[in-house]
């Protein structure tokens, strides 16, 4: 069923990217360099993970699965931090982003593997690694957006937060509107893609399974499962970020303490 791609097939697509790079260079659109670097990165990174998965599948061992999950979560944690306009202080920033990814992706994947998919063994890398990767990739976007909105807005509106504190509101009341906005910012992408799925867009995983020869209805069921897991994971992840950051942002006397969380230019 599966039509194997040859290097020649891939190079046809690569020529398109090269053409685009050439055109944008001629038009001085300043994107050619970035585009080519990204294209090379995606080729190398995906080939590497392909080799890694190949050896994982032939050598099923829970330690290897734990090892690769740790690497994936850490890299996603750094990625969230690098998308923040307000730079967080070292370990706190890393702890908040990886902690929320742990809740959003790791625990949700664990639940899905143990109770829904029930592969044998339950940690079989053929299911565990792609599932975790898909959840990480999608919840990462939501968490990064929610966190950025929370930090940006509360920094910009620090005078308003303090005004509300001055009027005797608790720290959580003073930041409540900003928390709502951040939750919205984090959840909107997945809510939109759930709403558009099937009508406007055919989600990538489902398409992939269909291309690989799976029956469409089976592929659809997997896609629905993934969508639910992603939306729940993103929501729990953003909520953890909101909780961790809004507690770190204030001290026990309900004072606004940006210096504990952010690198502030003097």
Partner 1 sequence: MSCPALVALIIASIFHVQRFPQSCAGVCLSLLQINQLGYQHCGPIDLQIDAAECIGVSGESGSGKSLLLRAIADLDEHAGQVVVNDVAAADMSAPDWRKIVAVLPADSQWWFDTVGEHFRDDQNARLTALGFSSDVMGWSISRMSSGEKQRLALLRLLNNRPVVLLLDEPTANLDYTNTLIFEQVVDDYLQQNNACAIWVSHDSDQLKRIAQRHFLLAEGRLQPC
Q: Which residues bind partner 1 (CB under 8 A)?
A: 157, 159-160, 162-170, 177, 251, 253-256
Closest separation in Å from C-beta 182 to partner 1: 16
CB 241, min distance to partner 1, A: 22
With respect to partner 1, which residue has the nearer C-beta, 70 or 163?
Answer: 163
Nearest to 157 by CA among 127, 179, 131: 179
d(CA 59, CA 48): 17
| CB-side neighbour CA atoms (13 Å) of 175 | 26
Partnered with residue 256 across adjacent β-strands are 250
- By beta-carbon proximity to partner 1, the closer residue of 2 and 166 is 166
Burial class (CB in 10 A: 0-12, 13-18, 19+), 265: exposed
| CB environment 54-92: b (16+ within 10 A), e (fewer) | eebeeeeeeebbeebbeebbeebbebbbeebebebeeee
What is the nearest approach in angstroms of partner 1 to the Cβ of residue 264?
A: 15
Contact indicator for 19, 1 with CB cutoff of 8 Å: no
In angstroms, give the least distance from the CB of 257 to partner 1: 9
- For partner 1, the closer CB: 149 or 164: 164
Cβ of residue 168: shortest distance to partner 1, in angstroms?
A: 4
Looking at the DSSP bridge assignments, the partners of residue 88 are 262
Please say which residue, 123 or 250, places its beta carbon nearer to partner 1.
250
- Of the pair 112, 161, the CB lying nearest partner 1 is at 161
HSE-CB of 240 using CA atoms within 13 angstroms: 23
Please state the closest distance from residue 163 (CB atom) to partner 1, in A: 4
For partner 1, which is the closer residue by CB, 63 or 167?
167
């Amino acid at each position: 069923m599966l039509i194997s791609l040859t290097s020649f097939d891939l190079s046809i697509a690569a020529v398109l990217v090269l053409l685009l790079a050439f055109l944008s260079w001629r038009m001085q659109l300043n994107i050619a360099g970035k585009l080519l670097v990204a294209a090379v990165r995606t080729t190398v990174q995906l080939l590497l993970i392909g080799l890694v998965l190949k050896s994982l599948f032939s050598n099923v061992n829970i330690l290897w699965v734990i090892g690769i999950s740790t690497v994936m979560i850490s890299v996603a944690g750094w990625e969230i931090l690098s998308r923040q306009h307000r730079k967080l202080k070292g370990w706190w920033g890393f702890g908040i982003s990886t902690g929320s990814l742990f809740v959003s992706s790791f625990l949700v994947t664990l639940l899905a593997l143990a109770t829904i998919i029930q592969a044998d063994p339950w940690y079989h890398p053929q299911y565990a690694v792609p599932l975790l990767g898909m959840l990480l990739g999608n919840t990462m976007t939501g968490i990064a957006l929610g966190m950025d909105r929370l930090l940006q807005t509360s920094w910009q509106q620090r005078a308003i937060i303090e005004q509300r504190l001055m009027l005797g509101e608790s720290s959580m009341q003073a930041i409540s509107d900003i928390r709502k906005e951040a939750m919205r910012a984090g959840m909107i992408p997945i809510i939109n893609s759930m709403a558009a799925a099937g009508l406007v867009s055919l989600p990538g995983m489902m398409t992939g399974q269909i291309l690989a020869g799976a029956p469409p209805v089976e592929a659809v069921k997997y896609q629905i499962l993934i969508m639910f897991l992603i939306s729940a994971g993103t929501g729990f992840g953003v909520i953890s970020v909101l909780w961790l950051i809004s507690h770190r942002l204030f001290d026990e006397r309900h004072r606004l303490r940006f210096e504990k969380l952010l690198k502030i230019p003097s």
